[in-house]
Amino acid sequence: MNLAVSTRLLASVGALLLTGCLAGCGDNGSAGGAAVHEVKAGDDSCRVDDTSLDAGHHVFKVENVGSDVTEVYVYGKDGDDFSKIMGEQENIGPGTTQTLKVDLAAGKYEVACKPGMSGSGIRTALSVVGSGGSDAAAEESYDRELELEVQSDGTVDPPSKLAASAGEKVELKLENQSKDEYYVELLGPDGSELGEAEAHGGETAEFVAKLADAGDYRVKVFQDGREAKATTVTLTVAD
């Protein structure tokens, strides 16, 4: 092999190594500029590999290591309670992995794993420091979740507490355990529709609505084609 060919060969190998390093070297678990964290969601555990984070974009890679379907939430603080939902990922089956993306400003947060997709969850505290995070994160979050469930026989179970404050954003979530299609609808104090979602048999549906004014709001749950026989509950919104 002559010197010119050898030089070209070494240059080509060097370029390949440099390209590989640019693609993989220095990748500290980031995805599109977001830090990636592992979450192991079990039947009685919620393990997060890093609980001290820098403000900004984060991706939680959630693996369900339990025996039941689960969901994972990131909660921010609302007053004294961690109830402000910054992000969520539902319907994570046993043995599967899904991702949850959030944008977090400095503050205290909690990750909640909810085996069986019910209850307040198994909580792990997060501490976020530094500058970063976006006001858009607060815009995309909501203040509370109101969960309703349709049992297999069509019976509707409302939340134990149906109350909120004017100006809050709420997520209405319908878990449909029956084989039929059901709807959840929110009507304002003046009777106007503020949101609606449909859940097919065995599935979950939700929507977010802002409660602009105080008053009595109506939440209706009904089977497809049978709105006249809807189960209706009152959501009381205070000033």
Per-residue pLDDT of the chain (239 residues; tens, 9 = 90+): 444 444 444 444 444 343 443 333 333 344 456 889 999 999 999 999 999 999 999 999 999 999 999 999 999 988 888 988 898 898 899 999 999 999 998 999 999 999 998 888 999 999 999 887 764 555 556 778 888 999 999 999 988 778 889 988 888 989 999 999 999 999 999 999 999 999 999 988 888 898 999 999 999 999 999 999 999 999 999 99
Q: Which residues, other chains included, contact 224 with Cβ-Cβ below 8 Å and sequence gap of 6+? A: 180, 181, 182, 183, 198
Question: Which pLDDT does position 134 carry in this prediction?
Answer: 62
Q: Where are the domains of the chain?
A: 30-141, 145-238
CATH architecture, domain defined by 145-238:
Sandwich (2.60)
Sequence-distant (≥ 6) Cβ neighbours of residue 228 within 8 angstroms:
none
- The contacts of residue 52 (CB under 8 Å, 6+ apart) are 126, 127, 129
- Per CATH, 30-141 and 145-238 having the same topology is answered yes
- Determine the straight-line distance between the first and last CA of the chain, rounded to whole angstroms: 85
Strand pairing partners for 96? none
Give pLDDT, residue 118: 86
The predicted structure's pLDDT at residue 112 = 96
Measured from the Cβ of residue 86, the count of other Cβ atoms closer than 10 Å reads: 23
Lookup: tokens for 41: 């969601």
CA distance 69 to 203: 12
**Contact (CB, 8 A) for 184 and 220:** yes
pLDDT at 29: 45
Reported pTM: 0.58
Which one of 2.30.30.60, 2.60.40.1930, 3.40.50.300, 2.60.40.420 gives the CATH number of domain 30-141?
2.60.40.420
